[in-house]
Amino acid sequence: MEILSGFFEYWTESYASILEYTYEHIAISFTVILLGISFSIPLAVYMTKMKNNKIKNMIFNIANIFQTIPPIALLAVMVPIAGIGFAPAVIALFLYSLLPLLRNTYAGIESIDPEIVEAARGMGYSTLQSLFKIELPVAFPYVMSGIRVSSVYIISWTALAALIGAGGLGDLILAGIGYNDQFMIFTGTIAAILIAVLLDLILGRMEKRIYGSS
Amino acid sequence: MKQRLLVGLSTMSLIMAGCGNGDENGEEFTSAAATSTDAKLNVQMVKSLVEDQTDHTVEIVEDLPASPQIFAGIERGEFDIASLYSGEVHNNYFDEVEYTTDPDETLEQAQTFFGEEYDIKWYDPIGFINNYSIGVQESFAEENNIETVTDLGEYADELTLGTDNAWIERDNDGYRGFQEAYGYEFADARGMDVSLMYDGIANGEVDVVTTYTVDPQIIENDLEVLEDDQEFFPPYESSLVATNEVVDSHPEINEILESMVDLISTEEMTDLMYEVEIEERDTKQVADEFLQEKGMLD
């Protein structure tokens, strides 16, 4: 009970700054997710059409390497290159979003029975027509699961961006660690969880609606 | 091949058994330090002195994120000795502590409140102070004739502040209190990792930093520490602490910790930290050299 009233007191006192941190958090992670989607999905589609396996493997390997660098290290490396704040945080997190988006989209399109694509071609579909009318709709659940997985990752990793001056809910968590305040730590954590869960819900709804209609 | 491995293993175990004999009477203590180099040097000195003068050994646990984790470890019985600062008593631990920036009062509060709450002995200060302070680039201070934190106010609305993540949200001695005491705020205030804060001011991405008074980065980055003319920042006098259990049952440890009171001045600690952080020398070497200079270690 005391804990609840403590939380309540903290929230009423500092809701303005909590909202600001939440806003910063959303700004960083949503920018990353949008950038990631608009870069990775077309790239993955293009990769399915690629004949050269070497280049394909190289792209996957690069994305894989980014995924294995500890986030703190990648963020720190970004500072001399892109400075402090929003930009380096977005670049670093963007690199993390690559692999799940690439892999899922690629796997989704690759999983389509070649005979179906062949049949479409036989019916006179152009490459683009077959892509948009057949391949992408069939691969859609895979693509969506890639988007959902990377979104959840990115929202949670955005907390680390506070280390390089980008703000966000990580600021609240780190401040709580340094200032011995559990309310700050938990508020930052809960807010980040809420953003992730809400976005996942929205994406799930979207998926159902689009998939249902296609 | 197998035989060789066996021979090797048995020789190794023999050697190891031989080493073990020396420490029969000794106990192992654990000493904790946060991420700051001064705290690491403190506990390293404790380790060297204890291992030199007694049969005990000291294991160091360092790079703890902040003091709350040290207190938690003390409470769980994981740490016996630690390096802490008096000003931490104002860090949201006790509602009943009256906020003050007077060094003696703060020390007394820390000794009383932390002493009772965590059943520890808070020794008198080791000698150096690691306060928060406001730093700007030397060239900037000279050009605009800025000497005090109040002087900086005139330019504040064009300046970006880089600080550690906690300072913005701290109550008494944090950014909000600062705005009240000095009557101005900066155009932007960004929390970040302390090491990046110095990179940031070196390459001009932030203009003002909350630096620490012992920090050799002040010298390295040509920073000017502005005079805290409103006496806003509370004192962070460094002290060693030990659990009462250890103090009572091991007078020899108590004696060693007592002997470290008033050992290191702020300037001396800055020099030592310069050796470790900028010259990248080993903490143990730097600590031992200092103790030898002081005649406390052969």
Is B165 in contact with A84 (Cβ distance < 8 A)? no
**Which residue, of B186, B204, B226, is where some domain finishes?**
B226
Cα–Cα nearest to A122, from A138, A107, A108, A134? A134
Cα–Cα nearest to B87, from B232, B242, B260? B232
Whole-model pTM?
Answer: 0.83
Asked if B70 and B186 sit in the same domain, the reply is no
Domains of chain A and CATH, by start: 1-212 (1.10.3720.10)
Report CA-CA distances (Å) from B173 to B67, B98, B194: 16, 13, 17
What letter does residue B204 receive in the DSSP assignment? T
> Tokens at residue A95, please?
């690199």
Asked if B57 and B117 sit in the same domain, the reply is yes
Q: Does A172 touch chain B (CB under 8 A)?
A: yes
Asked if B33 and B98 sit in the same domain, the reply is yes
Confidence of residue B173 (pLDDT cuts 50, 70, 90): confident
Q: Which pLDDT value is given to residue B21?
A: 41
| Mean per-residue pLDDT, B146-168 | 95
Please report the residues numbered 5 through 24 in chain A whose beta carbons come closer than 8 angstroms to any beta carbon of chain B: 17
Whether B200 shows a pLDDT value over 50: the answer reads yes
Asked if B138 and B222 sit in the same domain, the reply is yes
Q: Does the residue B114 lie in any domain?
A: yes
Whether B153 shows a pLDDT value over 90: the answer reads yes
Q: Residue B182: which CATH number?
A: 3.40.190.120
Q: Which pLDDT value is given to residue B263?
A: 97
Helix axes A2-49, A136-157, angle to 10 degrees: 140
Q: Does the residue B14 lie in any domain?
A: no
Helix, strand, coil % in chain A, rounded to nearest 5: 90, 0, 10
Q: Does the residue B20 lie in any domain?
A: no
Asked if B82 and B52 sit in the same domain, the reply is yes
Q: Does the residue B216 lie in any domain?
A: yes
Confidence of residue B18 (pLDDT cuts 50, 70, 90): very low
Q: What is the total count of domains within chain B? A: 2
| Mean per-residue pLDDT, B19-29 | 66
Whether B16 shows a pLDDT value over 90: the answer reads no
Edge to edge, what strands does the sheet with B223-225 contain? B188-191, B160-163, B208-212, B132-137, B223-225
DSSP H stretches of helix in B191-274: 194-202, 217-220, 244-249, 251-259, 266-273
Q: Which of A167, A178, A181 has the CB atom closest to B164's CB atom?
A: A178
Asked if B241 and B217 sit in the same domain, the reply is no
Q: Which of A79, A83, A184 has the CB atom closest to B169's CB atom?
A: A184
Asked if B35 and B125 sit in the same domain, the reply is yes
Q: Residue B74: which CATH number?
A: 3.40.190.10
Q: Does the residue B15 lie in any domain?
A: no
Asked if B203 and B64 sit in the same domain, the reply is no
Q: Does the residue B76 lie in any domain?
A: yes
Give the range of the structural domain holding residue B282, as residue numbers without chain letter. Answer: 28-130+235-294
Our measurement of the distance from residue A110's CA atom to the centroid of its chain's CA atoms, rounded to an integer in Å, reads: 22
Å from B65 to nearest chain A CA? Answer: 7
Asked if B32 and B126 sit in the same domain, the reply is yes
pLDDT tens, A87-138? 999 999 999 999 999 999 999 999 998 898 889 889 999 888 888 888 999 9
**Residue in chain B nearest A72 by alpha carbon:** B193
Is A84 in contact with B66 (Cβ distance < 8 A)? no
The beta strand positions in chain A, using DSSP E, are none
Confidence of residue B20 (pLDDT cuts 50, 70, 90): very low
* Mean pLDDT of chain B, nearest integer: 91
Q: Which pLDDT value is given to residue B12?
A: 54
**Which residue, of B201, B226, B251, is where some domain finishes?**
B226
- Other beta carbons within 10 angstroms of residue B136's beta carbon come to 25
Contacts of A71 in chain B (CB under 8 A): none
Asked if B201 and B248 sit in the same domain, the reply is no
**Which residue, of B209, B226, B243, is where some domain finishes?**
B226
B105 exposed, middle or buried (CB, 10 Å; 0-12, 13-18, 19+)?
middle
Asked if B110 and B146 sit in the same domain, the reply is no
**Residue in chain A nearest B66 by alpha carbon:** A178
| Mean per-residue pLDDT, B119-142 | 96
Q: Does the residue B94 lie in any domain?
A: yes
Q: Does the residue B250 lie in any domain?
A: yes
Asked if B125 and B72 sit in the same domain, the reply is yes
